Copies of this chain bind each other. A is one copy, B any other.
Amino acid sequence: LEVHAAPTGLAEIAAPPAPGEEQPPLAPDEVTILGQLDATYLVVQHGRDLLLVDQHRAAERVIFDRLMAQPRRLARQLLAVPVTLELAPDEAAAVEDYREALGEMGFEVEPFGGSSYLLRSVPAQLTHSNPEEVVGGMIAELAQWQSSDELGERREAMLASVACHAAIKAGQRLSPPEMQKLVADLLATQTPAVCPHGDPVIVTMEGALIDRKFGRS
C-alpha cells in the first residue's frame, strides 16, 4: 500500500548562533533518546525541543576532549600484536617528519624495512578502536600537511585527526545503550554543540517553533 501525502515541509533552518549568543543549558537528565535517523543522527527529546545529534561528530568531541585532558605525553598501550603498516612514499616521509609527535601521542611507529612500518602502541584512550584504521587515517592526513613546522601548534590538529579516525562513523547502527552513553558523554563535555573541527554537533528544533509550524502557537 502506498498513499500520496502532501506533508508540510520543515524547509529552512537557521544559521548557527552568533558567537557569544546566549544559549540555554542542556541538562543530561532531561534528555530522552528517541532513536537513530538514517544511522547517522540521534533523535533526542530535550524538554519540549527536538535535537538532532550527529553521532560521528559527537564521538569526535568526546574523544578529543579526553585526549586534550591528558598530559602532553599521552599514556600509551602496547599492542599485543604489532600492526604492520605499508605506507606510500609521502606517508613514509610524513611518519619520519612527525615520528616524535606521534610518539608523544602514544603512537610508537618504527621502520620495518622498505615501505613497511610497525605500529607498536596506541593511546591508552583508544584501546577499543581499530588501531590500523586510526593510525592509517591519521598518517594519510599528515602526508597532506604542508610542512612539519610549528609542530607544537599542530598538537590540537593532530589530536582532532586522531579523534576523527577513532570516532564512530556515520552509517553505523548503534544499540540504545550505545546511544545513551554517547549522548551522556557528549553532554558532559564543555562545548557539546561544536566538534573539534568547528562543525555543528547538535541541531535544535525548538518546541515553540514546532507548535507554530503546526499552527498551534
Where the two chains meet, the residues of A that have a C-beta atom closer than 8 Å to any C-beta of B are 1-17, 21, 23-29, 32, 34-35, 37-38, 41, 43, 45, 48, 50-52, 54, 57, 187-194, 199-200, 202-207, 209-210, 212-216
- With a CB–CB cut-off of 8 A, which chain B residues contact A215? 199-200
Report if A203-B193 is in contact (Cβ < 8 Å); known contacts: A14-B10, A38-B48: no
Are B41 and A210 closer than 8 Å at their CB atoms?
yes
A24 CB to nearest chain B CB (Å): 8
Assuming A10-B52, A10-B206, A38-B48, what are 17 further A-B pairs, CB within 8 angstroms?
A1-B187, A3-B187, A3-B188, A6-B193, A6-B194, A7-B26, A7-B202, A8-B15, A9-B16, A10-B204, A10-B209, A11-B13, A34-B43, A37-B45, A38-B45, A52-B210, A54-B216
Report which of B187, B192, B203, B209 forms a contact with A213, defined as CB distance below 8 A. B203
- With a CB–CB cut-off of 8 A, which chain B residues contact A205? 9-10, 205
- With a CB–CB cut-off of 8 A, which chain B residues contact A199? 214-215
- With a CB–CB cut-off of 8 A, which chain B residues contact A202? 5, 7-8
Report if A43-B41 is in contact (Cβ < 8 Å); known contacts: A9-B14, A23-B4: no
Report if A193-B27 is in contact (Cβ < 8 Å); known contacts: A41-B210, A199-B214, A215-B200: no
Report which of B12, B34, B191 forms a contact with A34, defined as CB distance below 8 A. B34
Q: Which 3 A-B pairs have the closest CB atoms?
A: A11-B14, A12-B12, A10-B205
- With a CB–CB cut-off of 8 A, which chain B residues contact A209? 10-11, 13
A176 CB to nearest chain B CB (Å): 11
Report which of B25, B43, B216 forms a contact with A3, defined as CB distance below 8 A. B25
A18 CB to nearest chain B CB (Å): 10
A68 CB to nearest chain B CB (Å): 16
